[in-house]
Structure 1
Amino acid sequence: MTIPFEPTVAGVSVNVHLILEYLAFFVAFRYYLYLRRKSSDHLSSSTRLTIILGATLGALAGSRIMGFMENPVFDYSVDGLIHLLNVKTIMGGLFGGLLGVEIAKWKIGEKRSSGDLFTLPIILGIFIGRIGCFLAGTNEFTYGTETSFFAAMDLGDGMLRHPIALYEILYLAIIFIVFTRLAKQDKLESGVLFQWFMLSYFGFRFLIEFIKPNIFYTLGLSSIQWLCIICFVYYRRTFVKLLKYAY
């Protein structure tokens, strides 16, 4: 198998990355419904639907904004507009979704935590999506810098690079196992599971950005790294508590 992996079926080139992206949404949502049926959810169905709507709209806006911020170049052509509409990043989607949920909860007067039930489905969804990113090779900006590291791979441009998508797949598999066990603990405060996930994932992405061939920096950091810092500031109290808990 060569990367990018673009099989041809009946004379038609199959976009595996796009298929896995849609599959990620489908499987993650079905898994969420499964977990909700198994749990004693303290939120009503109407409240959950409002939260999901807020998360969807926030994620849509956030993913596009941060996708553009990664490469803030735009030309006023049809191709440029199409590219602008297609750029996206999971980091912006996660943080945008978080803000969308908070706004939705504020509008309906809901103050209880709602993120824990989404945590494992989100991890699973990102895991499936990252498989598609890996198979897309250099067609997606999820590849790393050139390296002589033992895990280096040719991702489609003839150069040995860090397979960042594979690193993330491995990391997501580990935290999925860890968070599955944490979810079974009744002693955890409501909402803390999702907050721990955000801190752990954004912390990982902050570090991994150092081995990505970014071009645009502000004070030596990429737009994704600045978003990670914003996330840590947003969850600063949880981060301090997590450090004390770890200690």
Structure 2
Amino acid sequence: MLCSSTRILFRRAIRRVVPPLSSSFNAKTLSLSPPYHHHNISFFKATTPTPTPLRFSLRTDHTMASQSSPPKSVHDFTVKDARGNDVNLGNYKGKVLLIVNVASQCGLTNSNYTELSQLYEKYREKGLEILAFPCNQFGAQEPGTNEQIVEFACTRFKAEYPIFDKVDVNGNEAAPLYKHLKSSKGGLFGDSIKWNFSKFLVDKEGNVVDRYAPTTSPLSIEKDIKKLLDA
């Protein structure tokens, strides 16, 4: 047990080593020697801390905002005509559309072009439009220029419906319209277009309602066209 004089000396020694904390004690940071040199110990004045104002950050997702909504109908697309001019398919609202990828040197050319012209002549006044898109992806059977393709169809088959710019219907370079058509109505063995003269039937609101194989003759789908025209 320490005597009174020893206790007094001990308290004085403690005061010299560890000063008492007070409200005026400023913050000091003590750094420890390696390997703890990156850790700090801080002593702060014993006062009530000033509240830090809350800051809210509003982040706008520019990526999502900049992306346009995906097309919902055929009417949302703009395509090129045979002369390279833009054609807004929204101009066909209220019309029934038969969209066909055509070729000039295919075994199906004569029968399809002939029957397409017959359908158009019979139903154009009732609201049918046939949109022909030349494509050279199948047996390279549409090698000509747009001008040559239009002259061939109009001279030989009296085609009076619009013939558009030559496009790809499959692959990475497929026209956006055809990507939409295929995703809306897949084929029997997948979405890809199988050959020349595949056909898509579109209602007055721009919805793809049916798809027909290249070997399906245009006249055989006349009843489906009439049903949409009468709707």
- The normalised TM-score by structure 1 is 0.24
Q: 1 or 2, which has the higher helix percentage?
A: 1
User: Higher Cα Rg: structure 1 or 2?
Assistant: 2
- The normalised TM-score by structure 2 is 0.25
Q: 1 or 2, which has the higher strand percentage?
A: 2
